[in-house]
Structure 1
Amino acid sequence: MNKDQFLSRRRALLAGAAVLGAAGAAGAAHLLTADPDPPGRSAAAPAAGAKANRAALKPSAYRLQPIAGYGPARTRPARPLVRHEPFLRMSGHGRSMVLTFDDGPDPRYTPDILRTLKAHDVRAMFFVCGERAVDGKDMLREMAEEGHVVGNHTWSHPLLTRLSPHAIRSEIERTSDIIEEAYGERPAWFRAPYGGWNRAAFRLCAELGMEPLGWTVDTLDWRAPGSDTIERRVINGAAPGVVVLSHDAGGNRSQSVRALRDYLPRLLDSGYHVTVPRRQYT
C-alpha cells in the first residue's frame, strides 16, 4: 500500500469521529474525552476501581471504532491553546481507560505489545523518541494503520527543564518530522520525558499543533519490578478516566510485555473500555 492509498484509507476510517472536549477551567483537573461506545450499545455503568464487577462481556463489546489520527494538518486550526499543565485523565462514556507506552519503538518489545493489543481489538497511545523511530518507521506505520495514536516524546529523551527553548523545539520538531515521514501525518500529542514540563514546552506544544498529555497511573515498569507487580499496579489503579504509563523501550521491557498479556483481558472482563482520547483545538 503506497502512502496516498494509506492516507485515503485512514481518512475514510476517521469520517464522523468524535472530538476531544475542551479542558476545564484554569486550576481544575484536566480531562480527556474517550472514544464513544460502538453504535447500538449503551454505555457501561460507571464503577470505581478494579474491585468492580468482573462479569465477562460479549466479545463484540470490546470492539472500538477506528480512532487513530486527527485528519491532515491542513484541516486543523493553526494551533491549540497554550496549556499550563498536561491533561492527566479522560472523561467519556462508561468505564474508559487509556494505555500509553513511552520511549519506543523497539523491535524487541513493541511488536509483541502490538500483537497483544490487536488480539483484544483495543487501541493505545505510543509516545515515540525520534532517535529510535528513525529506524522503526515500519512500526510507526503499523501503529497508525491499526488505529493506535502515535505521539511525540522528543528526539533523545532529555529533561526539558534543562534545555533552552531552541533546543526543546529541535527535539520536538525532529521527531514530528520522522513521524510524518512514516505515515504522512504529524503527531497531535506530546509527552515530556520524565514528566518534566515547563512554560517553553507548553508554548511549543501549542505552536507545533500538539496537546500535552501526562498520566494518572505510573506502573514504574522501567524499574523492572516483575510482571506481577506491574499487573497489580494497573489493576489496583484502574478506575474510569485513568491514563496508564508503561514503556516499550529504553531497557529490557519483557516484564511489561508479559504484564500487558495478563492485565488487559482482566480490564476488559471487568467492563473497561481500553481506548484512546479524542481532542479538538479550543
Structure 2
Amino acid sequence: MRKVETLTIFIILAAVLLCGALLGHLLLANAGNGRLAWLLDGAAIALVAIVSVGVFSPNSPIFGAVISGRRIGDRVMALTFDDGPSPDTTPRILDILRDAHVHATFFVLGKHAERHPEIVARICGEGHEVASHGWGHGLLVFARPSAFKHELQRTAEILIACGAPAPRLFRAPHGFRGPFVNRVAGRLGYRLVGWSKGVFDTALPGANIIAQRSREAMRPGAILLLHDADGNGDGDRSQTADALPAILESMRERGLEAVTVSELASRQNPPRFSWKRGLIGLGAVALVATLFFEKSSGGLTSTLAVFAGLNLGLIGLAVLANLISIALKASLWKVCLETIPERPSVRFIHVLSAVFVGFLLNSVFVARAGEVARAVVLRRRITRQSGLQLPLGAVAGTIIAESLISAAILVSILVVAAFLVPGLPPVLAHAIVALLVLVLAAAAVILVAASRTRRSATVGARGRTPGRREQQVRDRVSSLARDLGNGHRVMRHPGAAAVAILAGLGSWFANLAAIWLTLLAFGIGGHAFAAACLVFAVSNLVGVVQLTPGNLGVFPVAVAVTLAHGFGTDRALGISFGVGLQAIEVALGAGLGLLFLAAEGLSFADVRAASVRESGATPARQPAPPDSSFALGE
C-alpha cells in the first residue's frame, strides 16, 4: 500500500470513529448519561491523536521502543542508507566510504538484494552493517501481522544467502508503523530504528542542498537518513553519492565519528530524570486536586451539567465557521506569497497545510513557535516541487505582512462594533485600545528594524575600504533586506491588497460567527452577539503572548473573567464556555495539524528541530502583531 492510499484510509477510519463517538454521545445524552457521553467524546479524540502520533512519527515510542539517537554523549553519529542496493549508486557510495575509512548502516530491501546479491556481499565484506527495510517498500500501517512476519523472514533469508549475518535492525518504510509492527519484529529479534534527520534527498534538490541539510543535522547521536536506491522504481539517487564527500568532510570538521547504528545504540546513556515528565505529573496532580475542590464545592457538578446540555448542532456549525476562518486566513497568506517576484507557484492546499502544522506547534510550545514552523514547512514543500529554495526572509516578510493586515482589519472591526453593537460593556473600549497600541508598537518595531537593515546594507564605513569579512556581512544584510522587502510587496499591488483585505475580513467574520455560535450552544443567549464581540477582542489580546502551550488554562480563565465582568455570567458557565471554545480550537487545529504533518512526510521532531534552527538563523524575527488564538491561524 502506498502513501496516499494509507493516508486516505487512515483519515476515513478516523472520521468514522469520530462520527461513531458523536452518535454514541447523542444516544447517551438522550438517555440522561451526559457525563458518560462527554467521556466517550474525549476518549475517541484522544485515541485518534495517540494513534496518529504512534503511526506517523518514526521515533514515537507509543507502540514500542525505537532507536532514535537520543541520550548519546560521545561524538559519534550514524550514516544510514535506505532502499538499496542499486547498481548505479550503491557502489559509488561504497567507494567513497572505503576511501574515507568510514562504516555505515544499509537498510536493504529484499527485492533489491535478490537482484544484486554481489552488492550486498560487498557491503558486508567492507565492514558495513546490513539491516532490513522489508521486502517491497510497502507501508505497514494496515498490513496483516502474518504478512509482515513473512516479509521480514523472506528478506532475512535473502540477506543471509548473500553472505550477510542475520539482520537485527529494521526500519519501516517512511517510518509509518501499525500497532503490531514493534511486537512482531521484536519476537523475531529485531530492534526498530528511526532517524533524527531526513534530508529529503529523494526529492533531488541538488548535491549542495543535500550536504547543507546534512550539516545542519549533525550532532552527537544523530542518525542521518539517506537513500542509495528508489524503493518504488528506478529513481536517480546519484545526487546522494555526489553529496557524500562533503558530508564526510563536515563530520570530520565537527569532530564527529561515523559508526553503525548498532554501535550508536550501544553507547546510549541510561535515562535520566525527565523534568518534562515530572511537570506533566505535577500537572496531573494539580488537575486532580482542582477537580476534587470543584466537586466538593459543587462547581464540578454545574460545569458537567453545562457540557451535558450542549447544543451539538450549533457546535458543529461553530467548527465549520472556524474551518472557514482558517481557510480564508490561508488565502490571505497565499495572496501575500504570490506577490514575491520570481517565485515558484504555490498551491492553496500546501499553504493550508503549513498553516495547520504551524498551529500544531503553537498548541504544544510557547512563544508562538508555529510562526517559524509554517515558513519551514512551506519552503520545504516548494523546494520539493520546483527545486527552487524560496528565501526565508521573503517568507517571513509575507507572514509579517499578513499579520499586519489581519491586525489592522481586526482593530477596524472592533471599532465599528463599539459604535454599532448595542449592549457592549466599557471593558471593550479598553481591549480595543490595548490592541491598537500593540498593533502600532509592532508596526513601529518592524519599520524601525527594516529601516536599520536597509541602512546597514547601503551605508558603508567612511574613509576606508571594508574588509572581506565586513563585506560579507553587508552582503548578507543587503540580501535579507531585499528578501523582507519582497515579502511586503502585497502593499504595493492594489489588486492583491484588495483581495487580501477581503480574505482578512471574511476570516475575522467567520471567527466571530464561530464564537457567537459557541455562546449560543452553551446557552449564553442574552446579548450573545455583544458577548461574542467582547470574547473576540479578549481572545486576540490574550493570544498575543502565549504563557502556556496553546494558552492552555489561561484562555478559559480570561474568557470567564471577561464574561463575568461584562455581563455577569456565572463563573462555572464562563469557564465551561472557555474550555469548550479552546477544545474546539485544539480538536480542529491540532488534529488536522497532525494529519497534515503526516501528509508532508515529516515527524514532529523534524519540524521542531527545523523551526528552532531557522528561528536562530533568522536575524529579522519580529514580535507578532495581535492575532486570534481561536482562529487557529498562528
Q: Report if TM-score (shorter chain) is over 0.5.
A: yes
SS in 1 for 2:131: strand
Name the counterpart of 2:84: 104
Q: Secondary structure at the match of 2:92?
A: helix
The CA deviation string for residues 162-184 of structure 1, in whole angstroms up to 9 with x for no partner, is 21111111221111110111115
The answer as to 2:245 corresponding to 1:265 is: no
Identity in percent? 33
Q: 1:116 aligns with which of 86, 93, 96?
A: 96
- Corresponding letter in the other structure for 2:83: D
Match of 2:136 in 1: 156
Q: For the residues of structure 2 that align with 1:184 and 1:246, how far apart are their CA atoms? A: 21
Matched-pair contact (CA < 8 Å) for 2:171–2:194: yes
SS in 1 for 2:93: helix
Alignment of 1:43-58 (within 5 A): none
Q: What stretches of structure 1 move > 2 A for 4+ residues in a row?
A: 90-94, 277-280
Structure 1: gaps of 5 or more residues: 1-29, 32-81
2:81 is paired with a residue whose SS is strand
Amino acid at match of 1:109: T
Listed one character per residue, the Cα deviations across residues 139-186 of structure 1 (whole Å, up to 9, x for unaligned) are 111111211110000110001012111111122111111011111521
Alignment check: 8 A CA contact 1:127 1:150 kept? yes
Counterpart of 1:137 in structure 2 is 117
Provide the C-alpha distance between the structure 2 equivalents of 1:229 and 1:259, rounded to a whole number of angstroms. 8
Residue in structure 1 matched with residue 237 of structure 2 by the alignment: 253
Tell me by how many angstroms 1:109 deviates.
Answer: 0.2
Residue of 147, 156, 167 corresponding to 2:147: 167
Q: Is the 2:215–2:247 contact (alpha carbons within 8 Å) kept by the matching residues of 1?
A: yes
Corresponding residue for residue 202 of structure 2: 222
Give the residue type in structure 2 aligned to 1:156: G
Q: Does 1:191 align with 2:171?
A: yes
| SS class of match (2:137) | coil
User: Retained in 2: the 8 A contact 1:268–1:274?
Assistant: no
Deviations 1:89-148 (A, max 9, x none): 155563101000000000000000001111110100000101100022111111112111
Q: Does 1:87 align with 2:71?
A: no
Identify which of 135, 148, 158 aligns with 1:178.
Answer: 158
Distance 2:188 2:124 in 1: 20
Q: Which residue of 1 aligns with 2:329?
A: none
Q: What is the one-letter code of the residue matched to 1:257?
A: A
Any idea what SS the aligned residue of 1:134 has? helix
* Contact 2:121/2:163, CA 8 A, preserved across alignment: yes
The two structures, once aligned, show a CA RMSD in angstroms of 2.1
Deviations 1:165-222 (A, max 9, x none): 1111122111111011111521010000010112221111111111100100101001
Whether 1:213 aligns to 2:163 is no
Q: Which residue of 2 aligns with 1:71?
A: none
Larger Rg over CA atoms = 2
Contact 1:104 / 1:247 at 8 angstroms: preserved in 2? yes
Question: Do the aligned partners of 2:84 and 2:109 also contact (CA within 8 Å) in 1?
Answer: yes
| TM norm structure 1 | 0.68
Instruction: Name the CA distance, whole Å, in 2 between partners of 1:225 and 1:218.
Output: 13
2:326 maps to which residue? none
The corresponding residue for 1:24 is: none
Q: Tell whether the 8 Å contact from 2:142 to 2:178 is kept in structure 1 after alignment.
A: no
- 1:83 and 1:140 mapped to 2: Cα distance? 31
Which of 237, 243, 262 in structure 1 is aligned with 2:217?
237
State the alpha-carbon separation in 2 of the partners of residues 178 and 119 from structure 1.
28
Highest RCO, 1 vs 2 (Cα 8 Å, sep ≥ 6)? 1
**Matches of 2:73 and 2:157, distance apart in 1:** 34
**5+ long unaligned stretches in structure 2:** 1-57, 267-634
1:270 positional shift: 2.1
User: Secondary structure at the residue paired with 1:103?
Assistant: strand
State how far apart, in whole Å, the 2-side matches of 1:111 and 1:253 are: 12
Larger fraction in helix: 2
Q: Which amino acid aligns with 2:253?
A: D
CA contact (8 A) 1:189 1:213 kept: yes
- Larger fraction in strand: 1
Describe the superposition over 1:216-274 as per-residue Cα deviations: whole angstroms up to 9, x where unpaired. Answer: 01010011111111101110111111100000000200110101121112211321101
Deviations 1:46-99 (A, max 9, x none): xxxxxxxxxxxxxxxxxxxxxxxxxxxxxxxxxxxx971421115556310100
Please give the alpha-carbon distance, in whole angstroms, between the structure 1 residues aligned to 2:208 and 2:161.
Answer: 38
Whole-angstrom distance in 2 between the partners of 1:114 and 1:181: 20
- Is the 1:90–1:243 contact (alpha carbons within 8 Å) kept by the matching residues of 2? no
